[in-house]
Each structure stands twice: as structure tokens, then as C-alpha cells.
Amino acid sequence: MRSYIVGVGMTKFEKPESRDWQYWDMAKEAGTAALTDAGIGYEDIQQAAVGYCFQASTAGQRAVYGLGLTGIPVYNVNNNCATGSTALMMARQFVEGGGSDCVLALGFEKMARGSLGGGGSDGGAGDFRTSPVARHYGIMAAAHGFEMTPPTAQIFGNAAREHMKRYGTTEAQLAAVAAKNHRHSTGNPYAQFQDPYTVGEVLAAKPIHHPLTRLQCSPTSDGAAAAVVVSERFVEERGLGDRAVEIAAQAMTTDTEASFASGTCIDAVGLPMSREAARQVYESVGIGAADLDVIELHDCFSINELLTYEALGLCGEGESGPLVESGATTHGGRWVVNPSGGLISKGHPLGATGIAQAAELTWQLRGEAGPRQVPDARTALAHNIGLGGAAVVTLLRR
């Protein structure tokens, strides 16, 4: 059984509290856009998978009630920053398993201002003795101690320090990731930030946790995204072939001993998970990184984009710094990575991020991405990761 995305929608991602709306308002906006894009009504939706991290149980129901009170099953999904792609994966499984022909994947987040903490869904640094990421932060504390900086920036910043020490990666190469993604976002009306910055401006921005500056860190954001996932039969019956983008392969991995055995932050933040998820996807369809045209990956911090280049096989181990400096991952290069602006510039409402990646890639594969369009894009990859942990890799193609 094959599955297809036939409709996508998202809100503009915005700074928390910059707009007077509730999570059900943003969910209705994104969901309505996806239904309109597909040319169907909410009455056609048979099940819904709804992802979020910062609301109470059954908020998924409240989120979709604005679309219709049809009594369908609604599944509430929480998988840290990988929540959106997890909801999309559930929708695909519902369709490919033969249980439904038309499923809605929806993700949203209404967040608080300030840095995201390391203690899980409470959004604060919390008590690491009870946190689901206690083991991850324990690895960091043993190797680097603990500083009075935002915990998530700290663990990724320490991964950057390790990469610099091990491979000679430079601060300028880290900044080049952010400069690229901020430049890409200037063509994206949905992005939270749409201003370009030079490498020098990125380096001169407010320090968060050395070597990361503010412009290398994804912000807290409000927003929602949605995708309509359907069966091949539904595509044929409704005449949606011109809208359909196939979910050709998808894999989710979670932590193994490889995340912790080395005692490094590089592994604790998910490099082994990402590498294994990519391997499973590539093997399932018989392709490799060289066959990709456009990629949306989880650049929560600039270092994670470099780590993900290596995990996805865009370059060898330790070669990601020179790769981004070479221009290989921007327009005119071998791949275009994060044409949306990525998490760093588009924004990062946790529950929406993975579905927003799918929305961007759907537009790219349809040729509907406007000034950020990647010419002749046919094969696209999304990568979404959450500490604690989960990594989801999704291959989309026309």
C-alpha cells in the first residue's frame, strides 16, 4: 500500500505572544489550508494524528474541533522536537496499513518566551534526576561540567566544541550554516525571521553558549502545520494525481547504546540515531544521498546541521564544515538544504516543525515554492530529531 501527501498548510511561525491567538486558532488555520490545498472537506478525514508538547492531554481534540465535530479517532502525539514527523508517520501507517484512506497529520505549539529548557515538556531546566533526558545531560556534565547557560544550547554547543577539537571545524563554518539559512528565509513568507545576515554578523551576535551565538540557535515559536495523507485509491478516485507527493520511505529510530557509549555530546544529541534512520530509508528504496535534490533537516543549532550532513551521507565524518563553506548546500550547489530557512530562521514550534518540513518539501516537489524553488526537484528528504530521543527521516518524491 502506498501513501501520498495531497494537501499541506501552515501558519506563519511567529514569536510567542506576538499574535493574539490560541493553539486551536492556529490549528484551524493550518488544517483549513491543508484541506483547501487537497480540495477536500474535513468530513473526508477518517482519523487524525495531532502533535504538540506544551499543552494538556486531549489538546489534539480541541485543536481539530474547529475543523469539524465528526467524531473521528484523534491520537495525541508527543515526541519532543520530533513530534510533528511522528504524527506524520502515524498518519502514513494508518493509510499504508489499510485502515484509512484519508488521514490528517497536524502539529502545533504555543510556546513561552525565552530559551527552551532541557527538562522535557515543562520547558524549564527542571530536575534532571526525573527528566527523560537525564542520561543525555549526564553525559554532558561528565565531559564538560554544567554552565549557567540554556541547557539545550549547552549540550549542542558542547557538541560543537567536540567537533572543533576533533576535526578542526571553525567558528566561521558554524556561522556559515546560520548565514545560509537566514538568507534562504528571505524568500519564505511563513518564516519567523526574514532578514539576511553575513557570517561576520552571525559571529558578532549575542553569545549563548560558546561557540554558538543567538543567530545560530532556533527560536521559540508559535505556529501550526498540517498535511493530508491519503491512499493511492483515494488519489485515483478524487483525481488528485497532480497534487500527490508520495511518501516513498520513512524510518524512526530511538537511542541505542551508541548514543551514550562514547561519552560525547556529539552522540548524545542524536548523530547515531540520525545515521541509522537515514540508512534504513536509503536501503528501503535503493538510493543514496547523491540522489537527493532538496533537504529539510533539523538545524535546531548550527552544529546540528553539520552533524546531520555527516549522518545523511552528504559528506564523510568531520567533513561537514568545509562542505557548507563550499556552497554545496545552497542554491547552485549539489543540494539545497533548508530552503525554508530551517529551524534557525523559519522558527521551531516543536509540534509543528516536522510537518512544516513536509509542507516545504511538498511545495518544492510540486514546483510551488516561489523564490526559494529548487529547480527540477524530484526527490526530497526530511530529517526531524528530538532529544530523549527520536529521529525521523522521510523520503518524498513525485
Name the one residue in this structure whose C-alpha cell is 514569536: 15
Phi, psi of 281 (to 5 degrees): -65, -50
Q: How far is it, in rounded angstroms, from Cα 241 to Cα 232? A: 9
Q: How far is it, in rounded angstroms, from Cα 270 to Cα 255? A: 7
Structural Rg of the chain based on CA atoms: 19
Q: At what angle do helices 171-185 and 302-312 cross, to 10 degrees?
A: 90
Q: Which three cell numbers stand for residue 121?
A: 515538556
Catalytic residue of the set 163, 209, 298, 348? 348
Give the β-pairing of 3-10 and 223-231: antiparallel
Q: Which three cell numbers stand for residue 351?
A: 509540534
Residues in the chain: 398
Name the one residue in this structure whose C-alpha cell is 502545520: 225
Inter-residue contact 351 to 84 (CB < 8 Å): yes
Catalytic residue of the set 81, 217, 265, 315? 81
Q: Which three cell numbers stand for residue 217?
A: 540557535
CB atoms within 10 A of CB 26: 27
Q: How far is it, in rounded angstroms, from Cα 66 to Cα 312? A: 38
**How deeply is 121 buried, as exposed, middle or buried, from its count of CB atoms within 10 A (0-12, 13-18, 19+)?**
middle
Q: How far is it, in rounded angstroms, from Cα 187 to Cα 172? A: 24
Name the one residue in this structure whose C-alpha cell is 527552551: 116
Is 81 in the active site? Answer: yes
**How deeply is 317 buried, as exposed, middle or buried, from its count of CB atoms within 10 A (0-12, 13-18, 19+)?**
exposed
Measured between its terminal Cα atoms, the distance across the chain in Å is 16
SS3 breakdown of the chain: % helix, strand, coil, rounded to 5?
A: 40, 20, 40
Is 348 in the active site? Answer: yes
Name the one residue in this structure whose C-alpha cell is 527540477: 376
| 3-class SS of residue 307 | helix
Distances (CA, A) of 363 to 164, 268, 270: 36, 33, 28
Q: Could you give the residue numbers annotated as active site?
A: 81, 348
